[in-house]
């Protein structure tokens, strides 16, 4: 194979991440070509890839055929989804899109069904003995008996329509406005995102906890790496039990007693994963190594590394 072609599905604003993939391919004997695809023809990440294409929305009946045409004409070898909706789309059309030994960067369907449904995830955590905030789904559980609560979309990402519920009045209002929300016990403590990379056999190769010091619109803006061994051990156990593969981002709260409560599992790169990459956890490089059959390197992580993010602009010239 002369060139290995990777397609990033729903690339949109993931400019920093695509840049890290571009940087990691330098010096590799195998050539990699990065193709970015998004429904927004003006998505900034399309300007960073080697090639780019616009795609109909996933809800459009023409989306699958359009993606299949891109995969065939561009000889795509691997698809990496960058949003939950992209993961769900690949899972729905797994058989059609995996033709010709094409790699789909998603785990088994059973894992997706657990992780993309916060009620299913809570039930899994309870059954398997992992610590997670007490969670309520009104149609399937007793009404909440504790305040405050965090109201979340049962299936959602990026903190959309998430709110703090402080009393029964708040709860009544939220139940009427968002009847399909789940309600999760509020755990005071330090909020963490944990970047995980597991190989194709489900063996964790990298676990890097990052404390989320400031968040805007569901996206981390400031974070500090904290190689807490207790969090790392908990994440490794969860990863193996769920058979997670590839890049994942796991969120949780470390309370004042040192207990880590799992809150969310994202089966993709987290928004702040570039921090882990910059601190030595070069996941794009590790993915290239796995693709080419090389031994995956064991990186040294710069503990207590601090990241602050800021907006930047890309200009289109006609």
Q: pLDDT (tens digit, 9 = 90+) per residue, 78-132? A: 999 999 999 999 999 999 999 888 999 999 999 999 999 999 999 999 999 999 9
CA angle 71, 196, 250 (to 5 degrees): 100
Asked whether the whole model's pTM tops 0.75, one would answer: yes
Closest CA to 112 of 235, 242, 206, 252: 242
Q: Given this model, what pLDDT does residue 1 score?
A: 55
Instruction: Specify the residue for token string 């809570």.
Output: 122
Domains of the chain: 3-106 (3.40.50.20), 134-185 (3.30.1490.20), 188-308 (3.30.470.20)
Closest CA to 14 of 39, 36, 41, 33: 36
Q: Given this model, what pLDDT does residue 217 score?
A: 77
Q: pLDDT (tens digit, 9 = 90+) per residue, 213-236? A: 999 877 899 999 999 999 999 999
Distance between terminal CA atoms of the chain? Answer: 35
Q: Given this model, what pLDDT does residue 48 score?
A: 95
Q: Given this model, what pLDDT does residue 77 score?
A: 96
Q: Given this model, what pLDDT does residue 312 score?
A: 87
Q: Given this model, what pLDDT does residue 318 score?
A: 65
pLDDT string in tens for the chain (318-residue length): 589 999 999 999 999 999 999 999 998 889 999 999 999 999 999 999 999 999 999 999 999 999 999 999 999 999 999 999 999 999 999 999 998 889 999 999 999 999 999 999 999 999 999 999 999 998 888 878 889 999 999 998 777 788 999 999 999 899 889 888 999 999 999 999 999 999 999 999 999 999 999 998 778 999 999 999 999 999 999 999 999 999 999 999 999 999 999 999 999 999 999 999 999 999 999 999 999 999 999 999 999 999 999 888 888 876
Q: pLDDT (tens digit, 9 = 90+) per residue, 137-151? A: 988 888 788 899 999
Inter-residue contact 182 to 118 (CB < 8 Å): yes
């Amino acid at each position: 194979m002369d060139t290995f072609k990777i397609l990033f599905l729903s690339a949109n604003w993931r400019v920093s991440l695509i840049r890290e993939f571009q940087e990691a391919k330098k010096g590799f004997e195998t050539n990699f070509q990065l193709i970015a695809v998004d429904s927004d023809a003006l998505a900034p990440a399309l300007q960073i890839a080697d090639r780019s294409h616009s795609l109909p929305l996933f809800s459009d009946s023409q989306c699958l055929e359009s993606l299949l045409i891109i995969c065939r004409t561009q000889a795509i070898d691997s698809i990496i989804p960058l949003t939950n909706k992209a993961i769900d789309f690949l899972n729905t059309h797994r058989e059609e899109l995996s033709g010709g030994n094409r790699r789909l960067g998603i785990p088994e369907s059973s894992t997706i069904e657990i992780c993309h449904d916060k009620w299913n995830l809570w039930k899994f955590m309870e059954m398997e003995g992992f610590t997670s905030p007490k969670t309520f789904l009104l149609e399937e559980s007793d009404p909440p008996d504790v305040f405050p609560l965090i109201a979340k979309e049962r299936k959602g990402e990026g903190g959309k329509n998430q709110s703090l519920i402080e009393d029964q009045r708040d709860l009544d209002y939220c139940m009427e406005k968002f009847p399909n929300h789940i309600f999760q016990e509020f755990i005071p403590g330090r909020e963490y995102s944990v970047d995980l990379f597991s190989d194709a056999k489900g063996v964790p190769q990298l676990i890097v906890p990052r404390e989320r010091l400031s968040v805007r619109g569901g996206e981390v803006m400031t974070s500090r790496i904290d190689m807490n061994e207790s969090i790392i051990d908990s994440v490794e156990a969860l990863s193996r039990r769920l058979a997670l593969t590839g890049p994942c981002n796991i969120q949780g709260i470390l309370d004042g007693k040192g207990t880590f409560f799992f809150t969310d599992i994202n089966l993709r790169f987290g928004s702040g994963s570039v921090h882990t990459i910059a601190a030595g956890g070069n996941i794009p490089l590790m993915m290239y190594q796995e693709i080419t059959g090389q031994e995956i390197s064991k990186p040294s992580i710069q503990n207590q590394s601090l990241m602050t993010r800021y907006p930047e602009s890309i200009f289109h010239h006609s």
